[in-house]
Chains A and B, each alone.
Chain A
Amino acid sequence: MSTTALESAAARRAQAGWRDRLQDWLPRIVLAPSFAIILLFVYGFILWTVYLSFTKSKMMPVYKLAGFDSYERLFAQPSWYMALGNIAIFGILYVGICIALGLLLAILLDQKIRGEGVLRPIYLYPMAVSFIVTGTAWKWFLNPGTGLEKTMQDWGWTSFHFDWLVNTDMAIYTIVIAGVWQAAGFCMAMFLAGLRGIDGEIMKAAQIDGASTYATYRRIVIPALRPVFLSAFIVLTHMAIKSYDLVIALTGGGPGNSTELPSTFMYSYTFTRNQMGVGASSAVIMLMTVAAIIVPYLYSELKEPVR
């Protein structure tokens, strides 16, 4: 009797040990394939691109190093400076307006209004539309011959004039308009979640202390939303830098090359102009730009203790 009890206890212990070990290892086993895939297909190809940027690759990759030749060619291209200027305009306005508009919409929606359940998805839905659809729809809407301008003139407002889409100086702003239309609702959702996370007691305390609504938002609510600002900023910045499909669908980089962005530049040099080396070097510059923004954020996030 006592021996059988001992045996079964030992068996149970062995089983438990096996199960513990499995539990220890399971996450690693499950994650290993995706980890290996990411290592190869993300970081491997980043390194490959960096390598190619130091070669004179034309149509197909060549592996003979050529120093900074591609970078010199890149920075001799007027359209690259056009692309850099445009990404600055687009990035600043897109991120800035999205955050401002998202915050405003979130604050308005947070006033415990009726019909919030209906309004919220209406603002959020543009996010569900692909950039190609957004771009094409806005192209029709903004084209003076088919869209807004023509409609207004047909309705009798004959002096109405809105030709940004076909104006080389203003076309980049139409991309901002379409981009903001798409992403502002998403920002709103982020801020709304942030607002719902603020302790109502603090707001009440501020009210009792006699703070005005404006002061409450400026001094309490907005500072409390700091992490949301940071997330929104990071998400929008990388969307701005990699935006490609929106430009292709909306303006095709034109009129002229007035809406060229680094992403469209990179694609055309790598794949249609057979200057893969220059394309790769522009991709590396883009990566460094993204890294310059993301790394400080990661650094600050990792330094902060986990709450």
Chain B
Amino acid sequence: MFKKMLSVAAATAALLAFQPAAPARAADSVEVLHWWTSGGEAAGLAVLKKTLADQGVEWKDAPVAGGGGSGAMTTLKARMTAGNPPTASQMLGYAILDWAEAGALADLTPIAVANHWDSAIPKAIQKFATYEGKWIAAPVNVHSTNWIWVSKAAMDKVGLPAPTDWDSLIKVMDKAKSLGIIPLAQGGQAWQEATMFDSVVLTTGGADLYKKAMIDLDEGALKSPAMHTAFERMAKLRTYVDPNFPGRDWNLATSMVIKGEALLQVMGDWAKGEFINAKKEPGKDFLCFRFPGTQGVVTFNADQFVFFKHGSAPLDAGATKMATDIETASFQSAFNVIKGSAPARTDVPDTAFDACGKKAMADLKDAVAKNTLLGSSAQGYGVPPAIQNAMYDVITKLFNGQLTVDQAFAEFPKAIAAAK
């Protein structure tokens, strides 16, 4: 008995002694936390996996499903609290800056300088990829949110020219309604209603009002008559929605447009993935326009990857390769063709993209030049999450008839102030 115990103890000791001698990582590897689990997204990520595999970097997948990444962010908080962060994580907007402020993110500046990120990535996105002059995130794409996705078949039935401003949009939707087509396919979830509200503010007061009210939270702009008009228009849009919209997911609303049951949907360009998956072609089966009256402005939502510090050690080889690969033109093109977004680098050729993709890239360049590339407040690129959700509360209550236009107009600045 004693002999047996002794041998067990010896074996344990041997194991313990051996462990530090073994290399911490046999080969380069990266563990990546993300929420790109649906078809098109996963296919896009596979491009990155393959690129890294070719360089001998092992990919350890840590997916947490759930749109918008709230589940993934909860997981990340738990892992950070436990002192066990992944190599890298997908991340959005203010969360990046919050984590940078907490001192958790690795400095990517050397990689960024070597690969000229500064000149290629729009300044508005850099605001969320740099902290105190250091690069702390690698932007993958630019989704723009002020799009409308139109069913070609339904539009042909309506027989009117493409809407270019608010009044022509209303005309087109009225006509569709009279023909028995649902004019507006809307998913009844707060973030979708808020995404539409971003565009409504833009078309009502232009980039100037949007920036002042929805990003700078300027009291005067929030209480201006133009915002009242925006709320009125939001209430007007409510009349074009079918009665069963509450709780509907965005992709179900998209499929209403795909089937031609509904005329159009206001949604970010991830909706294009649904059309492509349904084997629909842009220009032939569906049309993509900027939300009427917002041509020249782009409200964006950019997916980025951040890398975590592991003690005081510098970024390891695997993470360095991954950060470098993300910003190569070939990856940016291959990934974004599949994902439906525009590349975060503006120097990527648009040859591989479809009509809507080419338009997205051209619009992006145009907006960068005009300084009208603005963060989407509904998508967490305009205001911090607490305020973003306070906005959601008022917008969704208005859209669901719990508040009148006047009440919503009065409540909106109050809710924002309370969340500050």
Contact = CB atoms under 8 A, between A and B. Distances in A.
B386 interface: yes
A255 B246 contact: yes
Given A60-B81, A79-B393, A273 B400 contact: no
Contact of B396 (A76, A146, A257): A257
A168 B244 contact: no
Nearest to B77: A60
Contacts of B400: 168, 254-256, 258
Interface in B21-80: 70, 73-74, 77, 80
Contacts of B379: none
Contacts of B389: 268, 272-273
Interface in A170-190: 171
A145 B396 contact: no
B397 interface: yes
Contacts of A166: 188, 243-247
Contacts of A268: 389
B242 interface: yes
Most buried by A among B80, B247, B419: B247
Interface in A199-239: none
Interface residues of A, number: 31
A171 B393 CA distance: 17
A274 B98 contact: yes
Given A79-B393, A252-B247, A273-B385, A258 B402 contact: yes
A160 interface: no
Interface residues of B, number: 33
Given A60-B81, A254-B247, A273 B386 contact: yes
B102 interface: yes
Contact of B246 (A60, A251, A272, A273): A251
Nearest to A274: B385
Interface in B364-392: 384-386, 389
A254 B188 contact: yes
B17 interface: no
B16 interface: no
A251 B385 CA distance: 22
Contacts of B242: 145
Nearest to A59: B98
B388 to A, nearest CB: 8
Contacts of A256: 396-397, 399-402
Contacts of A171: 246
Secondary structure type dominating chain B contacts = helix
Interface in B150-188: 188
Nearest to A272: B70
B337 to A, nearest CB: 31
Contacts of B189: 252, 254
Interface string A260-271: 000000001001
Nearest to B95: A59
B418 interface: yes
Interface in A57-92: 58-60, 73, 76-79
A252 B191 CA distance: 12
B190 interface: yes
A163 B70 contact: no
A166 B397 CA distance: 13
A174 B255 CA distance: 26
A144 interface: yes
A99 interface: no
Interface in B90-122: 95, 98, 102
17 contacts: A59-B102, A60-B80, A60-B102, A73-B418, A78-B411, A139-B247, A143-B244, A166-B247, A168-B400, A171-B246, A255-B188, A256-B399, A257-B190, A257-B393, A258-B402, A271-B70, A274-B385
Given A60-B77, A165-B247, A171-B246, 20 more contacts: A58-B98, A59-B95, A77-B418, A78-B415, A79-B393, A139-B247, A144-B243, A145-B243, A163-B243, A166-B246, A168-B402, A254-B189, A254-B190, A254-B246, A255-B188, A256-B397, A272-B70, A272-B385, A274-B385, A275-B419
Interface of A: 58-60, 73, 76-79, 139, 143-146, 163, 165-166, 168, 171, 251-252, 254-258, 268, 271-275
Interface of B: 70, 73-74, 77, 80-81, 95, 98, 102, 188-190, 242-247, 384-386, 389, 393, 396-397, 399-402, 411, 415, 418-419
Closest 9 CB pairs of A and B: A256-B400, A145-B244, A255-B246, A255-B400, A166-B246, A256-B402, A273-B389, A256-B397, A274-B385
